[in-house]
Amino acid sequence: MASKISASNSRDLQPVETLKNKENTRLIWLDGNIDDSKDSMHTQNLLLEFNPAAQFYTDSTRCVDFVKSIQGEQILLIISGALARDVLPQISRVRSVIAVFIFCRNREFHVKLMSEYSKIVDIFIVQDELLRLLRDTMTIVEKQAFTFSLFDQTQKSTRDLSKDSASFLWNQLLLYVLKKMPQDDQAKNEMLTTCSNYYAMNKKELNKIEQFRKSYSREQAIKWYTDECFLYKLLNNAIRTEDIDLLYAFRFYIIDLCHALEKESEQLKTGGVLKLYRGQHIPNGEFEKLRKATGTLISTNGFLSTSRSIDVALGFIRQLPVNDDMKLCIFEINADPNVTAVVFADIDKYSKMQGEQEVLFGLNSTFKIDHVKMEKKLNVWKIGLSTTAEGSTRIEQYMKLQEDQLQLISPLVSFGCLLLNELGQIERAKCYFSKLLHSLPSDHPDISSIQNNLGNVYSAKDELNLALKYYEEAYRKRRSTLSENHPLVASSLNNIGLIYKNKGDFDRALDYLHQSLAIDEKNYPGDHSSKALYLENIGLTYQSKGDIDSALAWFKRAFGMYTRVLPAPHPYIASALGNLGSVYEKKGDLDRAIDFYRQRLEMAEECLPPGHPDLSSYLNRVAQTYKKKNDKKTSLMFCEKQLASQKTILGDKHPRIASTLMTIGDICEGEETRRYYEEALSVLENCTPCSELTLIDCLTMLGAIALDDERLEDGIAHWKYVLDVRRRIHSSDHPAIAEQLQRLGEAYFEAMHNYPEAFRYFSESLAIYRANYGDQHKDVIEVKEYLRQVKEKMADS
């Protein structure tokens, strides 16, 4: 059933309250006079027809907060003349604001603003003129929607690809995976239901959806795409943003469109190389990546529209406001129809807009960047691309390098693993594997691997009970369909063992882990990477149990085997070095610990991308061990050198910069600690996207500092914000929520002496800890003791 969107419930909302936008553009109207009057409601409903995610604000502060919170969307802002002078200085440098429309009674009074703010399209006193240009601008912005992935051919490890390289592979695999999913009437109905729900307020789109339902055939796929209706807007945004829900819903149409393009592309086979053009506004940061990437492979994320005419391409980019955040660019593409791995077709005869001479590239289109140079005569940057078959070659190479894994899992499953492991997109991986689990028949050979990967998802989220549920389901499925010594049975036993380790049930964990190792000993009498992993996990369990000597023995075996079976540098070898360092740290041999920690960091820097979060934790361990050795000077020098290097590579506004500032803050004391953490918070507030886990760590420390300084309200406010973030990103019974509730309970008990509040927070914390760990876990025992003390204080008062 369609969810009802209305103007009144789209007004003055906080960012978390707004509807998820499934299109590339977002309309926002800011005017102090927006209300429930007939004229105002009519305008609001018209804008909701333009964009179902449109938002209306009478409060300029809330509006500015919402604008600054938006990532990955293009904002078209309508603003009243009365508020323009106050608001424009606050949002003019926000990159997502593409165009501003001033709606007022007196054009001449505000016309000077157009020379001050380049994003202003025009100033309007007649509503019909405003709406007409607004609609035209939205169409152009939709056509400008463009993201790309670069493939770093020098990447040493496919286990930890840079985000760009992993995204490149993800897009290359997308079409293959969609073809493996069920294609039937149910798939079509799912897509149309999704579209109807989203466009519930838009009669024009609802009519189009119904027309599609009644008359669509596979042969009409290109014609429908050029219609620029619901299909065009939702489909390209789904691919561009890697929206698993929408991609799944659109799977049947994507396959039809690709098939139609392949068929139509045959018409170009007898001709020579085409020279095609696309005009594009490219953000400065993205442009710099392209300029430095000559010779690199580039894949566009979605269907790419081009023209045979450079004038048409130039016309598109000159219809939008020009601002300092963007570069005006022309892609000049040498398209060879004999490169069969890249599909493109002349679709001008299908287009409603005659004269655009449109040529459309299909998914998986890969190009090589030939050059990036300034075209002074046209005053645009020209980016030369050539079609290449290397995209499919890279997929073959990736599959070959993943050969061990692909003997055990299918490409259908490996696609989700790429999301989870290489891209680090836990929520998208969860969505993808959940879709597979519910769409494939129960006897499908991939079901147990899907269940196992849902266990991996929940384990990564530290949701131990849900992880254990899926791991056990996968184990039962594997035991019923595979031999008892199959490698996947060993993998399931290992995963279950790790959950019990994390729950603190070490003996039970070791039982499972030794079973997994015994199976691998039978399957692989010599060295093998999975056997090394099981050795490592046994070592980690002994370490958690407090048996350091046993842990060291297992870690040495794992490290030796990794070095024999994996090429150096490799993330697994780096991790094994860190395990050895942690044992020597616990044994008090700090010099040896530092040596291993530094080796781990140096190797990881060679094989992980520079923004990888593991690098921050590795750096922190080196710094903290120097501090433990009372060598604060060396620790600070080491971190300052790392920080300077990071800023050169990543810029000033990156989560890893914030992490390093926090590490330096941890080395320092008093006011210096506070200063570094506040600087880190400033970095995080300006990161796109922000690392929520790093933000949590930062605010947790700032809350503790405030409480120590007796700024009690500030400390509590920081920690309550952390609790809100935790509740937003975790399930309701996640242990991290219990930990934060406990922290607030301690603050109310020990600093505020507010015993009823302390009792409330401790009680909520205890319930979650118990649900995860049972009654014997140290956290449960600790919180129960706090509750006993609180009850005593309440009885005495």
What CATH number corresponds to the domain at position 745? 1.25.40
Residue 24 confidence class, pLDDT cut points 50, 70, 90: confident
| Count of domains observed in the chain | 3
70 and 158 in a single domain? The answer is: no
Residue that wins the pLDDT comparison between 1 and 417: 417
- Final residue belonging to a domain, choices 371, 396, 421: 396
What are 422's two structure tokens? 């290489």
Closest CA to 113 of 89, 90, 142, 94: 89
Residue 735 and residue 756 in one domain: yes
Return the H-helix or E-strand segment holding 74.
strand 74-80
Assigned domain for 707 exists: no
Find the largest Cα–Cα distance for the chain.
Answer: 93
Residue with the bigger pLDDT between 398 and 312: it is: 312
**Mean pLDDT within 542-567:** 96
Residue 450 has pLDDT above 50, yes or no: yes
Task: Tell me, yes or no, whether 139 and 247 share the same domain.
Answer: no
DSSP character string of 510-577: HHHHHHHHHHHHHH-SS--HHHHHHHHHHHHHHHHHT-HHHHHHHHHHHHHHHHHHSPSS-HHHHHHH
Q: For residues 674-696, b (16+ Cβ closer than 10 Å) or e, as one string?
A: bebbebbbebbeebeebbeebbb
pLDDT band at 729 (very low <50, low <70, confident <90, very high): confident
Q: Please give the pLDDT value at position 211.
A: 95
Do 109 and 250 fall within a single domain?
A: no
Tell me: do 250 and 353 sit in the same domain.
yes
How far apart are alpha carbons 501 and 515 in whole angstroms?
A: 15
Judgement on whether residues 35 and 21 belong to the same structural domain of the protein: yes
Q: How do residues 48-95 score in pLDDT, each as one tens digit?
A: 988 888 999 999 988 998 888 787 788 999 999 999 999 999 998 888
Whichever domain contains 41, its CATH number is: 3.40.50.2300
Where is average pLDDT lowest: 433-437, 636-640, 772-776?
772-776
pLDDT of residue 159: 39
Q: What is the DSSP string of 337-374?
A: TT-TTS-EEE-GGG-SSTTS-EEEE-TT-EEEEEEEEE
pLDDT (0 to 100) of residue 407: 57
Q: Which domain holds residue 793?
A: 730-797
DSSP summary character for residue 225: H
Select from 91, 121, 144 the last residue of a domain: 144
In a domain, 344, yes or no: yes
pLDDT of residue 2: 39
The answer to whether residue 237 is domain-embedded is yes
**For 467-489, what is the mean pLDDT?**
95
Q: For position 772, what pLDDT does the model report?
A: 83
pLDDT score recorded for residue 150: 61
CATH number for the domain harbouring residue 366: 3.90.176.10
Query: How far, in Å, are 225, 323, 326 from residue 350 at the CA level?
Result: 9, 34, 32
Q: What is the pLDDT of residue 167?
A: 61
Domain check: are 153 and 19 in the same one? no
- Residue 609's nearest CA partner among 11, 104, 156 is 156
Specify the higher pLDDT residue, 494 or 69.
494
User: What does the pLDDT average to over 302-322?
Assistant: 88
The predicted pLDDT at position 605 comes to: 86
Structural domain ending residue among the three candidates 396, 413, 436: 396
- In a shared domain, residues 240 and 311: yes
Q: Flag whether 646 is in a domain.
A: no
Residues 153 and 135 in one domain: no
The string of DSSP letters for 734-753 reads: -HHHHHHHHHHHHIIIIIS-
Sign of the torsion angle spanned by Cα atoms 204, 208, 210, 214: positive
Tell me what the pLDDT averaged over the chain comes to.
87
* pLDDT tens, residue by residue, 660-707: 999 999 999 999 999 999 999 988 887 756 678 899 999 999 999 999
Q: pLDDT band for position 158 (50/70/90)?
A: very low
pTM score over 0.75:
no
> What separation in angstroms does the CA of 570 have from each of 408, 600, 622?
22, 10, 19
Q: What is the mean pLDDT of residues 617-628?
A: 94
Q: Of 9-18, 145-154, 354-363, 561-570, where does mean pLDDT reach its minimum?
A: 145-154
Domain co-membership, 371 together with 246: yes
Q: Is the residue at 210 inside a domain?
A: yes
Confidence of residue 168 (pLDDT cuts 50, 70, 90): low
* Claim to verify: residue 300 and residue 196 sit in the same structural domain: yes
In the structure, what pLDDT confidence band is assigned to residue 163 with cuts at 50, 70 and 90? very low
pLDDT at 784: 95
Question: Count of CB atoms within 10 A of residue 193's CB?
Answer: 14
DSSP-assigned letter for residue 11: B
- Residue 331 confidence (pLDDT) above 70: yes
More confident residue, 71 or 294: 294
731 vs 172, residue with greater confidence: 731
Residue at 338 is within a domain: yes
Give the tens place of pLDDT for each residue, 382-426: 999 999 887 666 656 555 555 455 556 677 787 788 778 766 677
Same domain, 219 and 112: no
